[in-house]
Amino acid sequence: MDILNLIDRLEELFNESRAIPLTNSVVVDEDRMLDLIDQMRVAIPEEVKKSQKLLAERDRTLAQAQEEAKRTLQMAREKSDGMVDRDAILSAAKGRAEELLAQARLDAEATRKEADEYVLEALTNLEMEMERSLNQVRNGIRALMQQQENQTEPNEARKESQPD
């Protein structure tokens, strides 16, 4: 499941929660919240896998370009061996192979840079969403703990005021 969808569901759960009067706290359905957190734990590695897949694609493109450059250079060497003006042809083939290799490196570097930017942006967004969600969870826990403390205090006061 998409992490952003899970975050939307977590926010929806928060918005559906009952407010505690006179506080900024809400009562959250614990089972639903824990279920969403578990789903997020599963979804986050999927986002990382997507980023890794993009990096692998970039590396494969670079390897293909380098292989193509090697093949071109090898073909040029083989053809030039049988020709009279071998030095000129070999020089041209080397130049062409170096051009192809240089272009492949430029293309690979551009792809790597785009992939790195995409991964950085995705992870930054994920971090912000997770921090927001974590803050909401912490606020919910704090509110529940406060509510429990407030309920415990009146009971203790009644017990102390009753004669033995």
Which 3-state string (H, E, C) describes 65-79?
HHHHHHHHHHHHHHH
Question: Would you state the pLDDT for residue 158?
Answer: 67
Domain, as residue range, for 42:
1-20+27-49
Q: Average per-residue pLDDT in the chain? A: 86
How many domains does the chain contain in total?
A: 2
The number of CA neighbours under 13 Å toward the Cβ of 61 is 17
Do residues 39 and 73 share a domain? Answer: no
Question: Would you state the pLDDT for residue 104?
Answer: 92
The string of DSSP codes covering 67-134 is: HHHHHHHHHHHHHHHTSTTHHHHHHHHHHHHHHHHHHHHHHHHHHHHHHHHHHHHHHHHHHHHHHHHH
- C-alpha–C-alpha distance, residues 43 and 45, integer Å: 6
Closest to 104 (Cα-Cα) out of 54, 70, 56: 70
Do residues 41 and 86 share a domain? Answer: no
Q: What is the pLDDT of residues 54-96, one digit of tens each?
A: 888 999 998 998 899 899 988 887 877 766 566 777 788 889 9
Question: Would you state the pLDDT for residue 164?
Answer: 58
Question: Would you state the pLDDT for residue 49?
Answer: 82
Give the model's confidence band at 139: pLDDT under 50 very low, under 70 low, under 90 confident, else very high: very high
- In total, the chain counts a number of residues equal to 164
**Hey, is 40 helix, strand or coil?**
helix
Whether 161 shows a pLDDT value over 70: the answer reads no
Do residues 45 and 79 share a domain? Answer: no
Closest to 4 (Cα-Cα) out of 128, 135, 138: 128
Do residues 76 and 112 share a domain? Answer: yes
Give the model's confidence band at 45: pLDDT under 50 very low, under 70 low, under 90 confident, else very high: confident
Question: Would you state the pLDDT for residue 86?
Answer: 67
Global pTM exceeds 0.75: no
- C-alpha–C-alpha distance, residues 109 and 104, integer Å: 8
Give the model's confidence band at 106: pLDDT under 50 very low, under 70 low, under 90 confident, else very high: very high
**Hey, is 135 helix, strand or coil?**
helix
State mean pLDDT over 42-53: 81
Whether residue 59 lies inside any domain: the answer is no
Question: Would you state the pLDDT for residue 141?
Answer: 94
